[in-house]
Amino acid sequence: MRCDLCNEREATVHLTEMIDDQSRELHLCEPCAREKAPKGLQGFGLAELLAGLADFGSKMGEETKAKLVCPRCKMTYEDFRKTGRLGCGQCYETFHRALAPLLKRIHGSGEHVGKEPAAGKVPAEELSQLKEQLKKSVAEEAFEEAARLRDRIRALEVKPKRARKI
């Protein structure tokens, strides 16, 4: 999606403006967002927001948090609080107890239910072949085979959502 102002760069900042119960979305690139931002918010980013919210709702004591260090990248919880960024994938496990309230507040849930990646989909050619076999089985009145094929097609087309605990 292109920037609504310059129409040159990719929009990476998405704002929703509410005026008199009317909402308006604005999609901006970073340079245009910096220019448009009010003076008090210039330079304010996601890292600063996360750093500010890092301890919101956490029941861990400061002493316990001070001892948290990622075994892989050696990032401390204090480093995360300063930058708002984690160093590696292991940080999510290491800081889990401290991050869970923050992630729950941001996402509205303690579980993540996401979409399947496009790469995980069944090739269209395979589904097409199965559907042709199904038509042929029905035409030949081989209903047991048709039912088996129908169930196979349904299983390939509809994948159950998976939930991951945050």
Give the tens place of pLDDT for each residue, 53-92. Answer: 555 445 566 667 778 899 999 999 888 877 778 889 899 8
What percent of the chain has pLDDT above 70?
65
**Are 49 and 110 part of one and the same domain?**
yes
- Give the closest residue to 36 by CA, choosing from 61, 8, 73, 4: 4
Residues 74, 17: Cα–Cα separation, whole Å: 40
**DSSP string of 62-77?**
HHHHHT-B-TTT--BH
Q: What range does the domain containing 73 cover?
A: 45-114
User: In this model, does residue 38 exceed pLDDT 80?
Assistant: no
Is this model's pTM higher than 0.75 or not?
Answer: no
Res. 32 pLDDT band, cuts 50 70 90: confident
**Is 164 inside any structural domain?**
no
The length of the chain is 166
Domain total in the chain? 3
**Are 55 and 107 part of one and the same domain?**
yes
What number is the average pLDDT over the span 134-156?
90
